[in-house]
Structure 1
Amino acid sequence: MLQLATLIKHHAQFRPDQVAVVFEQDRLTWREFEARVSQCARVLTWLGVRKGDRVATVLANCRELLEVYWAVPSIGAVLVPLSPLLMPSGLTSLLRDSGANCLVTQRSMAPMIDQVRAELPELAADHVLMVDGPAGDYPDYGSLFKTCADGASEPVRVGSDDIFNIMYTSGTTGLPKGIIHSHFVRAMYGTLFASAWRMSAESVVLHTGAIVFNGAFVTLMPCFYLGARYLLQRQFDAEEAIEIIARERVTHTMMVPAQIIAILNAPNFSPEKLASLEMILSLGAPLYQEYKDLLNRLLPDRFYELYGLTEGFWTILDKTQSLRKAGSVGAPPFFYEMRIVREDGSDAPAGEVGEIVGRGPSLMGGYYGRPDLTVQAIRDGWLFTGDLGYTDGEGYLYLVDRKKDMIDSGGVKVYPKDVEEVAARHPAVREVAVFGVAHEKWGETPVAAVVLNAGASITAGELRDWINERVGARYQRLHALQIMDDFPRNAAGKTLKREMRDAYQVAAGDR
C-alpha cells in the first residue's frame, strides 16, 4: 500500500537530525517536525476529526500551516487549503461546498469567521482553531497543542485512493471549483517532480509565495518525499528572498513570472548571490521571452518552465532545452500523453493551433460535488484544458493563450500573448496584460494594462503607439493602454485579467 501519510515518520526515523523545515527563526529537524505533526494530529483527533472529514485552513504562510498540511492526511482526513484573501461570501461558499467541519485560521480572521459562522451554524466555535492566540469563543491552537495528551494515537489505515486534499482553483476565470487529489496523485507529484527537478535529499528548497495554491506542491511534495530541506518565506519579498538564497545556499526555487521579474529588478540582485541555485522554475503563466533570455544569460543552465493545470496535466521545459526551445513550455514527461485537438474533435498536426488535451498519472479525481463539470473537463480519460497551443516537429508545446482570453476582433482571432511579448520588449515595461473589451464595430478590441519599471518616464499614448508600430498585424493594434501601479492578483500571484477588463469597461462607460 502507498504510505504517503507516513512520510514524515519515515524521515524522523531515518534522517532524525537533518534540518527539515526553516521558517524565519525556526529550524526544525525531522525528529522535531514529526513530533509537531504528530501532536497536531492528536489535537485534531481529540476535537473529533475522523477519517474523511474535511479540515480547512485559512492561513498566511507559517510553520503551523506546514504542520497541519501533514497532520491532516496522516489521520485520513481531507485537507482544504483556502486563501486568507477571500471575502466573507467567498469563504462561506467554499466552506459550505467542501463540507469542512474544522477550520484552522488566525486571529486577524476572527471578525470574518463570525460572519461566516452565522451562515454555517454546523461549523462549531470549538472547531475553529487560532494559531496565534485565542479570539472570542475560538480556542488557541497553541494551548491545545501543549495540553493535549501525548502518546501514540490509534493508527488510521490510509490508502492510495483516499482523498488527500480538495484544492480550489485560484479563480482567474469564473467561480472556484474544488479539485480532488488522492494520496496517489500527491505521491506522483513527489516522485515525478523530484526526478524532473533533479532534486536529492541534500537539496535546499525555497518557497517564497503562498502555499495555499496548488503550484506550491510542485516543489513541496518532492522536497518532503526526499527528506530535503524546505525553507518557507512568510510572504514574497524580492530583496529578502535573494538574501535567503545566498545565506542558506538554496538549490531549488519556483516562482510565478511577476516574482521572477521582481527578483531580477531588485536593487540587491546579483548572479553571485544566486550562484547556489540549480533550478529556477517559472510557472503559473508564461514568462516573457525577454526575461527568459535575461535569466539564461545571467544564470545559465538553471531555468525550467512548467505548464500545468491543477486538474492534473503538465509539460516541462528542461533546463537543457531552455535555449534550443526558446518560446516553448516543454514536452510531457514520462507516463504522460498530449494531443492538440481541433474544434471538430480531430487531432491537429504539428504547427496547427488547437486545444491542449492531455492525460497522465496525476489526473484529478474530479471536481468535488460537480460531476457535470467533471464530464466536461475529462472525456474518455483525457483532460481538455481550455488552453490553446501547438507542437513543433519534435513534440514540444508552444502555448498560444487561453480560449477564454482570446479576442475576437471583427472575426479575426487576436491572441493577447502575442501583443504582450511585443510590449515586454520596451525598456520601460515591467509587466503587461492584454485583454479584450467590447467594441461597437469590431465586437472586441485589444486593450493593454502596464506596470512600468521604477523611474520610467513615458505616457500611455506614447507606449501604445510604440507597441502598435511593432505588432505583426493591424488587428493586433491596441485600442487603448492604461498605466497602473500594480495588477490585481490572486493568492498565487497570478494576474487577474478579468478584474482589469471589468474595471476598464465600467470606467469607459462612465466617461
Structure 2
Amino acid sequence: MTLIHALYENSEKNPLKPAIITEQRTYTYEQLLKSVESVAAQLHDQEFHKGDQIVIIMGNEAEFIISLYAIWLVGATAVPINPNYSEREIAYILAQSDSKGMIVHPNQGGNYTNEIAIDFELKIDLPFDNEVVLEQLAIILYTSGTTGNPKGAMLTHGNLYHNASDVADFLGIFHEDRMITVLPVFHVFALTVAVNAPLFQGATLLLQKSFSPKEVFRAANEQQATVFAGVPTMYSFLLHTPTDYAQPLGTIRLAISGGSSLPTAMLQNFEETFQLKISEGYGLSEASPVTCFNPFGKQKAGSIGQSIIHVENRIVDDHGDVLPVHEVGELVVRGKNVMGGYYKMAEETAKVLKNGWLHTGDLAYMDEEGYIFIVDRKKDVCIVGGYNVYPREVEEVLYRHGSIVEVAVVGEEDLHYGERVVAYVTIKGEVDVQSLFVHCQSNLVDYKVPSHIQIVEQLPKNSTGKIMKRLLKNKK
C-alpha cells in the first residue's frame, strides 16, 4: 500500500465524494484520480520515467496535489519548491537535485528553463498503470537552509505512507472530516498533516491559497470544516482578529499546531477564547515530518506530546546514552518515517543519522508519561557568563505580559559575557519598554533577563510563518 494506492481505493469506494474544494471548483475523488492519470500520461509521453526528479513550483493550488501524485504515478521523484524563492535559490535546488524538468502553475509567470508543458484541463480517459513500491524514492524536500545551502531530505513512499496513516490514526482524522488546508502545501508539515493524511482517509480538503483569519472563520461556519492545522503565528492572528460569527471556529473539533513551539500563554488564551483545545506536535523534514503529537483529549500545555504510532523518541546525552525523566538532552528519533539521508550529501547525512537514530538538534526532556517538552534548539542556546539561557524560557515569560503579540529571543555577542540576551517583540497598544524589563526581572534570574528589548512592527518569517531568528541577530 502507498498513497497512490489509497487514492485509487478512495476513488473506487466514494467516486463522487469531494476530495478537494477550492475557491474556483470542486474535485471529486473520481475527478482527482482522472486528473492525476491525465498528467501522468502527459509526463510519460514526454519521456519522464522512474528515477527522474521533477520539480514542482506552485503554491496552494489543486494542480500542486495533482502534479505530485502524477509524478509518483510515473515512478518519478517530486522536488517541491517554494514559489516565492529567489532565482538563485531555485537554481541551486534545480542543479543540486539533478531535476530533469519542472511543472509550473499556468498562472505562476516567470521564465523557467526545462518547464514541462502540462495541460491540466486535458482529459485522457486511460488508466495509467505503473507499480509504485514503498522502497521507491518519492520526494526530496529541501530544508530551509538556516545555515549554509539547503539540504535535500530523501523520503520514500514508505516514509510518506506510514507517517500519513500513523498521523491520521493517532490524531483521529476520519473520512467524514473536512480539513482546512491553508498551510503551504510545498512544506512537509502541510503535506503530511493537511494533504496526505486526510486524502489517505478519504476526507475532504478545503484548500485555501493563503492564510486569512476571516477565511478560516468562514470555512468553520459555512463549509462545515472539522479540522484546522496551523502554526503558532496563525493561532496568534485568529486570537486578535474580530469576527461577527457567534462561534468563530464553528464546527471545528480538532485544532493542530506544529512548525515551531507554541507559547503556553498563547495556547491557554486560545483555549479560553474559543473553547477548543490545541493538539501541539513536533516534526522535521527528515522524519516525514511527524514524530510526536498530543493525543486528542489528553493534551498537556507546553508539551509536543507523545510518540505517535510506530515512532520512537528518546532523550540522550552527548554520548548517545538515554537520560532519566526530566533531564534535558538531545531529542533523537527512530521509525519508518525517517529519511534515508540527504541527496548527494554523505557527510551531512552522517552528522544526523547515527546508529539508526535521527539526531534532531533539539534539546528536550520527557516526563513519566512519555510527554516530551522542547527546551530549545541546541544551536540557539545562549551562554551568558558561563550560564546556559534557553531563549524559549525567556519568550514564555514575555508572552505572559498582556501586551505582547509575538516575541523572539536571540543571543548576541558580548565583549564581557560572551553572549547577551536580546528580545524582539511586537505589541498591541502602547507599552512602556521598562514595564517589560520589570516583568522579566520579576520572573527570571538576572543573567536570563534581556539586556535589550526592541519593539518592532513585525518579525521576519519564512513561508510557513516560522520566525527566522537568524535575521534578527545583531539587527539593532
Give the TM-score category using the shorter length: over 0.9
Corresponding residue number in structure 1 for 2:41 = 42
**In structure 1, distance between residues paired with 2:2 and 2:311:** 23
1:173 to partner: Cα distance: 4.4
Equivalent position SS for 2:472: helix
Superposed counterparts of 1:16-165, under 5 Å:
16-106=15-105, 110-111=109-110, 113=112, 117=113, 124=114, 128-129=115-116, 139=117, 141=118, 144-146=119-121, 150-152=124-126, 155-165=129-139
> In structure 1, what is the equivalent of residue 331 of structure 2?
356
**Partners of 1:409 and 1:439 in 2: CA distance:** 9
For 2:158, what is the secondary structure of its paired residue?
A: helix
Match of 2:469 in 1: 497
CA 1:108–1:434 in structure 2 vs 1: closer, same or farther (change >3 Å)? farther
Is the 1:43–1:145 Cα contact (8 Å) retained in structure 2?
no
Counterpart contact for 1:61–1:235, Cα < 8 Å? yes
Residue in 2 that maps onto 1:440: 415
Equivalent residue number for residue 438 of structure 2: 466
Structure 2 CA distance for aligned equivalents of residues 500 and 43 of structure 1: 46
Residues in 2 aligned to 1:101 and 1:204: alpha-carbon distance in whole angstroms: 36
Q: Decide whether aligned partners of structure 1 residues 101 and 463 sit closer, same or farther in structure 2, where only a CA change above 3 A counts.
A: farther
Measure how far apart 1:99 and its partner are: 1.0
Q: Which runs of 5+ in 2 are unaligned?
A: none
* Corresponding residue for residue 488 of structure 1: 460
Q: Conserved in 2, the CA contact under 8 Å of 1:464 and 1:480?
A: no
Among 281, 292, 298, the alignment partner of 1:321 is 298
How many matched pairs? Answer: 473
Residue 345 of structure 1, aligned match among 304, 309, 320: 320
Between 1:423-432 and 1:8-17, the stretch displaced more is 8-17
Q: Deviations over 1:296-344 (max 9, x none)?
A: 324446421101122116111123222xx32221111232222211123
Q: 1:477 aligns with which of 449, 460, 465?
A: 449
**Structure with greater helix percent:** 1
Distance 1:274 1:302 in 2: 12
- 1:309 and 2:284 matched: yes
Structure-2 residue corresponding to 1:259: 234
- Structure 1 residue 54, shift from structure 2 partner: 1.0
The answer to whether the Cα contact below 8 Å between 2:330 and 2:361 also exists between their aligned partners in 1 is: yes
Would you say the 8 A contact 2:177–2:226 is kept in 1?
yes
1:422 aligns with 2:421: no
Is 1:368 matched up with 2:343?
yes
Q: Residues 270 and 276 of structure 2 are in contact (CA less than 8 Å); yes or no, is this contact kept in structure 1?
A: no
**AA at the equivalent of 1:465:** F
Conserved 8 A contact 1:171-1:490 = no
Closer, same or farther: CA 335–397 of 1 in aligned 2, 3 Å:
same
Q: 1:269 to 1:43 in 2, by over 3 A?
A: farther
Question: C-alpha displacement at 1:471, in angstroms?
Answer: 3.3
Report the RMSD for the aligned CA atoms in angstroms.
1.9
8 Å contact from structure 2 (residues 235, 270) kept in 1: no
- TM-superposed CA distance for 1:10, in Å, is 2.2
3-state secondary structure, aligned to 2:315:
strand
Q: Is the 8 A contact 1:315 1:332 kept in 2?
A: yes
- Whole-Å Cα distance in 2 between the matches of residues 370 and 207 of structure 1? 32
Determine whether 1:457 maps to 2:457: no
CA distance in 1, matches of 2:414, 2:151: 31
Counterparts of 1:494 and 1:271 in 2: how far apart (Å)? 30
Q: How far 1:446 moved relative to its partner?
A: 0.8
Aligned-partner SS, 1:394: coil
User: Aligned partners of 1:387, 1:271: CA distance in 2, in Å?
Assistant: 40
Superposed displacement of residue 358, structure 1: 1.8
Residue of structure 2 equivalent to 1:166: 140
Residue 221 of structure 2 corresponds to: 246
CA contact (8 A) 1:301 1:319 kept: no
Does the 8 A contact of 1:189 with 1:221 survive in 2?
no
TM-score (norm 2): 0.95
**1:398 corresponding residue in structure 2:** 373
Distance 1:382 1:469, change over 3 A: same
